[in-house]
Amino acid sequence: MTPAQISHVQSSFASVAPISDQAATLFYGRLFEIAPEVKPLFKGDMREQGAKLMKTLAMVVGGLNRLETILPAVEALAIRHVAYGVEDRHYDAVGSALLWTLEQGLGDAFTPETREAWSIAYTTLADAMISASAKVSA
């Protein structure tokens, strides 16, 4: 990622963070709408799950300019997700739901450049997670 793309992701996330509860609710609503097969994978309190999501996003977004420092945590997360039943194909739906949520939360501030930056960031991290999960599944 370029420094400008990292800046787009970090500044846009800073705008979403104050509405993190709403953003998490939007995200999971959208995810379950476009990929209803993942809903049974979530067994706990969804407010708590939403808080975990936003905390994880904050950690990842904050570490984008030091990707090598966050990759071990991202890979560990992927390995835990395998145990929950997450499959590679679910990552596309998560990415779609994330971009949709950001668009809803940011409105006009979700520019094409911001969308592209988030797409690159998500793809980079999802690819790392899929790679890590393949090691467990093999």
Q: What range defines the domain where residue 26 resides?
A: 3-137
Helix (H) or strand (E) holding 134: helix 112-137
Split into its structural domains, the chain has a count of: 1
Q: How much of the chain exceeds pLDDT 90, in percent?
A: 83
pLDDT tens sequence across 90-111 = 999 999 999 999 999 999 999 9
pLDDT tens sequence across 119-130 = 999 999 999 999
- Report the CATH number that the domain containing residue 15 is assigned in CATH: 1.10.490.10
Q: Are 133 and 27 in contact (CB under 8 A)?
A: no
How far is it, in rounded angstroms, from Cα 54 to Cα 24?
A: 7
